[in-house]
Amino acid sequence: ECLFGASSTPPLGEILLDGRSVRFRHPLDAMRSGVALLSEDRKRLGIFANLSVGANITICVLEQLTRLGVIRAQYETRVAREAAERLALRGAGLHVPITTLSGGNQQKAIIARWLLTCPRVLLLDDPTRGVDVGAKAELYRIMDRLCRDGLGIILTSSELPELISLCDRIMVLCEGHVTGQLSRAETTEQRIMELATQRPSVHSEPAARG
């Protein structure tokens, strides 16, 4: 949320996007720069619970679906259907409430929404939280395909095996400070835990003074 401009606490340091320094003060700034966020809190910050599946998918691109201020309903439905089919979203149709979908299919709908904005970077905050094993496997395949298509993905996860199997590089933090970066070849659960539980060296002090 901090990287996406959705936090009241601005990020420390510098954010580089394609080698250019950027700072997002609002989510709209991030969206216009090609950055999208799938939030950890799907029910509160992901889905629009009072809207249909289709409306949840197209809500970020409505301006492109209107003519003279009126939404072209058939066009919107076609765009939503194609986006849903791309991610093999399953459910009772586009016009049912999104709350009728399983957690995994709700996540697919949110990803489909963001893909319509043609992002360059997708921020995934614990994307498999609260979904079943089968849905996790499907989300893993989607992430892999998107990466192969050239989309940059920054993933945070509470499950270490997930990070180890999916990530090309892992950055570990402790108390808000980076304590190490690991390539896939050197990553183990033990090494991640060592970095995640130590204090950053900049704050460390000798245990005793001579």
Domain edges within the chain? 1-33, 34-167, 168-201
- 50: part of which helix (H) or strand (E)? none
Q: In angstroms, rounded to a whole number, what is the distance separating the alpha carbons of residues 164 and 187?
A: 7
| CA-derived radius of gyration, the chain | 19
Both tokens of residue 56? 């949840």
**Tens of pLDDT along the chain (210 residues)?**
788 878 877 777 788 888 899 888 888 999 999 999 999 888 888 999 999 999 999 999 999 999 988 999 999 999 999 999 999 999 889 999 999 999 999 999 999 999 999 999 999 999 999 899 999 999 999 999 999 999 999 999 989 999 999 999 999 998 888 899 999 999 999 999 999 998 544 444 444 433
CA 86, 92, 97, 103 dihedral sign is negative
- 75: part of which helix (H) or strand (E)? helix 73-86
Cβ atoms 38, 111 nearer than 8 A: yes
Tokens 């940059």 label which residue? Answer: 152
Which of the four CATH numbers 1.10.3720.10, 3.30.1180.20, 3.30.70.980, 3.40.50.300 does domain 34-167 have? 3.40.50.300
| pLDDT at residue 9, rounded to an integer | 77
3-state SS of the chain: helix, strand, coil percent to 5?
A: 40, 20, 40
DSSP state of 185: G
Close Cβ partners of 97 (under 8 Å, ≥ 6 residues apart):
49, 50, 51, 52, 53
| pLDDT at residue 204, rounded to an integer | 44
